[in-house]
Amino acid sequence: MELKGYLEFILENIESNNVGICFDIGHCNLFFNGEFNTKAFKDKVFAIHLHDNFKKIDEHNLPFDGNVDWEKTIDQIIDMNYCGYITIESGYNDYYSNISIEEYYNNAFIIANKLSSMIEERKKNIIIKLEK
């Protein structure tokens, strides 16, 4: 969605537990400068697509190969109570022309593990703060 407020409008006007959204990080970065109304979508995110870009086109680069604020993004994911699967939605494009496809997949695997660790660490820190 390129129109700010459209998804909020849809969710406000369709009362169903079966209606939700895919939180697409690359699109959020490209169209909304990373701003996302986590309160409006709390418990309404059914899928997450992670990819990166430089806010010019929807490049679908691997996370950290663009200018998405990943610390903020992880906070957004946690704020929305999302606990399902997360998809890295990137492709072996011109940005990666200097590496082999095998290197690309290895990098994707390393990045997926890094993001998973970042999310788990953030969740752990939240629990520790709540216990204090």
The pLDDT value given to residue 132: 54
- To the nearest 10 degrees (0 to 180), the angle between helices 70-79 and 101-131 is 60
Q: CA distances (Å), 125 to each of 42, 49, 75, 100, 130, in order? A: 20, 24, 11, 37, 9
Q: CA distances (Å), 21 to each of 7, 85, 103, 104, in order? A: 8, 13, 32, 29
Domain extent, residue 43, equals 6-131
Residue 53 lies in a domain: yes
Cα 12 to Cα 65: distance, rounded to the nearest angstrom: 35
SS3 of residue 85 by DSSP: coil
Q: Supply the Cα-derived Rg of the chain in whole angstroms.
A: 16
The pLDDT value given to residue 81: 87
Residue 81 lies in a domain: yes
Contact 25, 17 (CB under 8 A): no
The pLDDT value given to residue 128: 62
Residue 1 lies in a domain: no
Question: Alpha helix locations (H) across 3-100?
Answer: 6-13, 25-32, 70-79
Residue % of the chain over a pLDDT of 70: 95
Residue 10 lies in a domain: yes
Residue 109 lies in a domain: yes
Residue 62 lies in a domain: yes
Residue 69 lies in a domain: yes
Residues 6+ apart with CB under 8 A from 41: 7, 11, 20, 21, 23, 80
pLDDT greater at residue 39 or residue 2:
39
Which domain CATH number covers 18?
3.20.20.150
Domain total of the chain: 1
pLDDT tens digits along 54-70: 999 999 999 999 999 99
59 C-beta neighbours (distance < 10 Å), count: 20
pLDDT tens digits along 85-125: 999 999 999 999 999 999 999 999 999 999 999 999 988 87
Residue 86 lies in a domain: yes
Instruction: Give the global pTM.
Output: 0.85
